């Protein structure tokens, strides 16, 4: 599938060669500042002010953890529907099911923080 056309005036590319160590420095600077590799290179060459880092945006540190989390999030809707069905039938979901749902959501939050590389407390075990 083709990329959608953008209104970015930067249509010209510049090819450069780097050693492994140099390339790693560029990638590390981009990751630590939240900028793109292109922004880091542009700033280094042109000395322009880099764009401000958007608050709350963190580069993904662990793609595998993020994929596990996305799978778990996909199951939330089904679980919520089951709990709503029981409640709408005039009953109330078992206490254990509610505690497990809460524990699952805490686990998802913790896993997301790990994937983003943000320090977080581990989830509390369910009762």
Q: What is the pLDDT of residues 92-106, one digit of tens each?
A: 767 777 777 778 888
Residue 17 pLDDT: 92
CB 53 within 8 A of CB 33: yes
68: exposed, middle or buried (Cβ count in 10 Å: 0-12, 13-18, 19+): middle
Taking only the tens place, the pLDDT of each residue in 27-42 is 888 887 778 888 888 8
Average pLDDT over the chain, rounded to whole? Answer: 75
C-alpha span between 48 and 33 (Å, rounded): 15
Residue 20 pLDDT: 93
């Amino acid at each position: 599938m083709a990329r959608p056309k953008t209104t970015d005036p930067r249509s010209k590319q510049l090819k450069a060669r780097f050693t492994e160590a140099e390339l790693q420095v560029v990638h590390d600077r981009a990751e630590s500042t939240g900028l793109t590799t292109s922004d880091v290179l542009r700033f280094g060459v042109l000395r322009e002010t880099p764009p401000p880092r958007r608050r709350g945006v963190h580069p993904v540190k662990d793609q595998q953890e993020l994929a596990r989390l996305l799978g778990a999030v996909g199951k939330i809707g089904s679980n919520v529907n089951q709990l709503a069905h029981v409640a709408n039938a005039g009953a109330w979901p078992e206490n254990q099911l509610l505690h497990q749902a809460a524990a699952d959501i805490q686990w998802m939050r913790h896993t997301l923080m790990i994937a983003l590389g943000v320090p977080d407390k581990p989830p509390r075990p369910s009762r």
